[in-house]
Amino acid sequence: MKLTLKQRQFYDKNGYLVIKGVFTDKELEHLDRGVYGAVTSGNCSSCGKVYPSPKTLYTVEGQYQNDPNLLRIGEHQAVIDSVESLLGGHACLSAFVSYLKTPGASGTSGDYQGSHLTGHCDYKTYQQAGSSLNWLFAIIPLTDLDNETGPLFLSPGSHRKSKIVPVTDKVSEVYRAQASDIAPLIDAELKRGDLCFMHGFTWHEGKGNDSKHDRYGIYLKYRAIDAPPGCGPQLFRERAFSVFSEAGKRFVPHHGDQSFTEARLIIDHGGSFLLLEDNANDWKLPGVAPLKKLVKESVTADVIGQLARSLQKRYGLDIPWMTYITDYCNEDGVRRVYAYHDRKGIMATRSLRSKFRWCSGKEIRKLKNNGKLDHKDADAIQRWETEGCIRGVGESMEQAKKFAH
């Protein structure tokens, strides 16, 4: 399904687009089966409440599912053609969630920066999907979101009130719009079988379920391939990845069954990189290993938090933000690497203990060739230097809440 120029212009102006009646009854029944299969079998999060408990939100995370009825919607032609047209190039899934709210369940909570009690914007530096600088929602309601069931409200044009502002030549931050900056939220009047695209900066609110039936639907998040999440992606389990077709696997680039066991940081001061002495004259990027057990709801933000706290505690390095570069897998688990641009030279000028050294790109390559620097560290530095990405800042939840704009 190709979007018309008019549809793309509507999306650019309003930060959302609704296409009516996209899915066939058969396709919708597959999705029903997928959502209810997960909810009734308990393969979802619900604070331990067995379905059907009243006033309960059941969250089905596609990352942990293996049912084609549910997962194959992530590569549905009508969805991905439009997504890639709106994001301006190749895209991938950054989150795959289905929400089911039983009668009496409340609406969404407010923005984390506190300017609205129920409406919010999901660009968040501490979230695996929300911290990309170019992402959107593809929403597929599976019930009519009428007044009783709980409409999806959104604020037309609100996506333009948040601003992307460069921090360095490689990384940008977002000045997030506040509730007072945006137009009033309106009912998107979504019905079962519609497809709604919503910009990642668009303010919105899902109302509570005052009806006598379940309110449920699919909320997919896609990001442009060249706009990685500042705080790093969460991994789809291999069993979820394997459900996608050969052609559809490109929508799930981050997958694996291992957990995060280590995190390292590239500190870049004008093309010089900070290395830490390893044993016997070898060098490595500073970091933390092993990581302690991660908080399930915010794994990626927790990795940043543990890395930041460890670098502060062990070496006195204060890192205000980091941006995700890549992951390396070995038998023990996943090592995640981030970068920080020490633009002001705060770290470069302080007297670091002798076990640190600053190295130019040339010295990095020499150390690597002499077997004195881990190849993965050298690779991460090269990616940071050469990859043409639109990178945003990633933060731990505490940092995001402390330094919020």
Q: Half-sphere exposure (CA, 13 Å, Cβ side) for 180?
A: 3
Among ligand AKG, Fe ion, none, residue 152 binds (CB under 5-8 Å by kind): ligand AKG
| DSSP structural state of residue 294 | P
CB of 19 to ligand AKG, least distance (A): 17
Q: Is 36 or 219 the residue whose CB approaches ligand AKG more closely?
A: 219
Rounded distance between C-alpha atoms, residue 308 and residue 271, angstroms: 21
Beta-bridge mates of residue 197: 17, 138
Which listed residue (206, 286, 392, 394) binds ligand AKG by CB under 6 A?
206
Binding mask 332-371 for ligand AKG (x = CB under 6 A): ----------------------------------------
The one segment of 80-88, 122-130, 331-339, 386-394 that binds Fe ion by CB under 5 A: 122-130
Beta-bridge mates of residue 154: 186, 204
Q: Report the 3 state secondary structure along 227-290.
A: CCCCCCCCCECHHHHCCCCCHHHHHCCCECCCCEEEEEEEEEECCEEEEEECHHHCEECCEECC
Please report which helix (H) or strand (E) contains residue 386, including its range.
helix 375-386
Residue with the closest Cβ to ligand AKG? Answer: 206
Q: Is 152 or 347 the residue whose CB approaches ligand AKG more closely?
A: 152
SS3 400: helix
Cα-based distances in Å from 268 to 7, 200, 231, 303, 326: 42, 29, 18, 20, 16
Q: Is 23 or 219 the residue whose CB approaches ligand AKG more closely?
A: 219
Contact status: 219 vs ligand AKG (CB under 6 A): yes
CB of 177 to ligand AKG, least distance (A): 16
CB of 176 to ligand AKG, least distance (A): 15
CB of 121 to Fe ion, least distance (A): 8
Q: Is 36 or 99 the residue whose CB approaches ligand AKG more closely?
A: 99
The one segment of 116-124, 231-239, 354-362, 373-381 that binds Fe ion by CB under 5 A: 116-124
Q: 88 to 107, contacts with ligand AKG by CB under 6 A?
A: 99
Question: Are the CB atoms for 14 and 197 separated by under 8 Å?
Answer: no
Nearest to 223 by CA among 336, 138, 111: 138
Q: 111 to 130, contacts with ligand AKG by CB under 6 A?
A: 122
Q: Is 122 or 377 the residue whose CB approaches Fe ion more closely?
A: 122
Binding mask 143-162 for ligand AKG (x = CB under 6 A): ---------x----------
- Reading the block at residue 63, the tokens are 């990352």
- Reading the block at residue 403, the tokens are 């330094």
Cα-based distances in Å from 145 to 32, 38, 95, 205, 210: 16, 22, 22, 12, 11
Rounded distance between C-alpha atoms, residue 218 and residue 332, angstroms: 34
Q: 240 to 279, contacts with ligand AKG by CB under 6 A?
A: none
Which listed residue (102, 108, 132, 323) binds ligand AKG by CB under 6 A?
108
Residues lying near ligand AKG in the complex (CB under 6 A) are found at 99, 108, 122, 152, 204, 206, 219
Residues that bind Fe ion (CB under 5 A): 122
